[in-house]
Structure 1
Amino acid sequence: MPVLRGAVTFSRFRTEPSKEAPSDVKRWLTKGLKSHAFEPIDRRSEDERAAGFVELENAEASDFSTSNLFYGEYALFSFRIDTLKVPASMMKAELDKWTSAFTKENSRPPARAEKNKQKLELKQLLRQRAVPRTSVLDVTWNLKTQQVQIWAASRKTVDEISVALEGALAVKVIGITPASMAQRAGIDDKALGPTAELIGMDLPATASLEDSHGEG
């Protein structure tokens, strides 16, 4: 939980409403987060991944009550990602064990259809036993400045959370980087390139300096 303790990499953004700005920001934010709240993976399905918003200090909750979401001028919440995958090595080991037992009992190896059917049953059984891998990434939203910080190091994860925020709240999430700030200020991209001094290049002597040394 980097927002409340410790330090970690984060990315900064500003948000702009796609439509008219909401009159009640807190109500709008709560409703939006609930609409894209985290839902656990259905183990009966083929889904291997689930993602959505949860409360900051309780990754199992998505009620987003006022006391658990708003802290002064900030809204603090998290984005949870669960992955449930049956390791291929485990599946192979179980299927090999079943094949050996089937062959011994029936004096023949299983037919392809029989093996495929057992593979599906084994996958479902192993999914029921598997423990999902969970990642929880924090998000801070300044209600006054409309600036957002996403506390994640992975660019792919940051992009996923940005897209989720845009979908949940109908806003544009714009990165706060030197390039984006320069673009808004009307500064040419070429002006952002490294200077000769920065990259350690020797600067050519000016003619006036050469002349003054020559005359001395």
Structure 2
Amino acid sequence: MGILANTVSICQFQVSGELPQDDLFEWASTRLVAQAFRPIDRGSEELSVGWVHIDDPKESSFDRPQAFWRDHYLTFSMRKDQRRIPSALLKAHMELAEAEFLAAHPGLQRVPKQKREELRDAVRGTLLAQTLPVPALYDVVWDSRNGRLTFASLNANVVELFENLFRQTFDGLRLQAVHPFARAEAIIDQALQPALQQANQASGDAVLEMIESNRWLGQDFLLWLMYQTMEGSSSYTVNQPGPAQPGEGFSAYLNDRLLLVGGGDSGVQKVTVIGPQDAFSEVRTALQAGKQITESILHMEKLEHQWKLTLKGETFHLASFKAPSVKIEKDNRSDEASEKEAVFYERMYVLEEGLQLFDSLYRHFLDERLGANWAQTLARIEAWLSGE
């Protein structure tokens, strides 16, 4: 699903580096054109990756602002067309090609290794030419005000492909994954920064190490949120910038599905708890056995609006992020282009409000986790887990 769908899976990056001070449009346009998507449907190439319009995957020209410019947003999609040959089909054609070669060379018992490789290349090329490429689209929204970039995929290979293409396109800029520690650094009060840095368990600033060494952030956040859902208050206030006003109230709670992971004699063990939870009894039992919550469905509500997402605790990737539906009233004076633009702005409004609520919720947790009273809070949670 693309960024404009009511449900989308996203990860976020922080873009660092110097942007041009003069004509940002001309700069971005030139670079997007240089890495624009090139069709391969008339050839036999196996893969083509490049940029296209977010609202028209057939268009890859970026010579006018309407193509990718929306106020302070740069918007485009990564298109990947790839031909795939089923292994069974390749094997069958290879066997036929080898049989024909041996029939033409009766003195040979088997196909020589080098010749076999040549046959494989020839067979593969023929099959590729007969196979249509399958397209895939992944939307990008880049906020030029704060450098926050949202990418609509959680597939590790796709994310890596996007990062490589972005670096090739915008040389001099860097993408930094917004993982739990990076998100914490961005939203906590300056007075708590020393406590956060002291709690950092990574020995370096490499992204993978920052994620793996600071798993405690996602684990403690989900544990705290589960306790808040059952025994504390599910009411919070907005404390981060965004569409909602500071101090506005909202509710947040876990429900429907939780994934717990822990080590055992037989290796890593996973427990998935599905369905509405009355007392989290099964989850509490797993936690007492040493498992940790690593993933859960999070609900957030503000007035009549609702957001729902699956939070990946290790990375803070947001899967199946469902925001309030966007409805645009049409009139006879509006054209298709203006309607698409209106849908985009409305969609970004509800998405950013949901992210604002999530960051506000995370900030509530961080204030407690890094504050002086965390030991008492943890004692209450442990007593609740043991049924005291």
2:93 aligned with 1:94, yes or no? yes
CA contact (8 A) 1:182 1:188 kept: no
TM-score (structure 1 length as normaliser): 0.73
Structure 1 unaligned segments of length 5 or more: list them: 204-216
1:211 is aligned to none
Match of 1:121 in 2: 122
Aligned residue pairs: how many? 200
Deviation at 1:77, TM superposition (A): 0.5
Quote the Cα distance in structure 1 between the aligned partners of 2:54 and 2:109: 51
Amino acid at match of 1:58: D
- Pick aligned residue for 1:176 from 167, 175, 178: 178
Distance 2:144 2:185 in 1: 24
Aligned sequence identity (%): 17
Confirm whether residue 68 of structure 1 aligns to residue 70 of structure 2: no
| 1:168-212 Cα deviation digits (max 9, x unpaired) | 122122233430144465322628752664693139xxxxxxxxx
Of structures 1 and 2, the larger Rg is shown by: 1
The aligned residue for residue 188 of structure 1 is 197
Contact 1:102 1:109 in 2 (8 A): no
Q: Answer yes or no: is 1:149 the counterpart of 2:150.
A: yes
Q: Is residue 2:6 matched to residue 1:6? A: yes
TM-score norm. by structure 2 comes to 0.44
Superposition CA RMSD, Å: 3.3
Separation in 2 of the partners of 1:181 and 1:123? Answer: 46
Residues 110 and 77 of structure 1: CA distance in aligned 2, closer, same or farther (over 3 Å): farther
3-state DSSP of counterpart to 2:154: coil
Q: Which residue of the partner structure matches residue 15 of structure 1?
A: 15
Pick 1 or 2: higher relative contact order, CA cutoff 8 A, min separation 6: 1
Tell me the secondary structure at the aligned position of residue 383 of structure 2: coil
**Equivalent in 47, 54, 57 of residue 55 of structure 2:** 57
State yes or no: 1:201 paired with 2:382: yes
Quick one: structure 1 residues 145 and 22, their matched pair in 2 at CA, closer, same or farther if it must change by over 3 Å? same
Is 2:20–2:27's contact at 8 Å kept on the other side of the alignment? Answer: no
Deviation for aligned residue 1:43: 4.9
- The structural deviation recorded for 1:52 is 1.8
| Residues 68 and 75 in structure 2, CA contact (< 8 A), matched pair in contact too | yes
Match of 2:290 in 1: none
**Could you tell me which residue of structure 2 aligns to residue 214 of structure 1?**
none
Answer whether contact 2:68 2:74 (CA < 8 A) is retained: yes
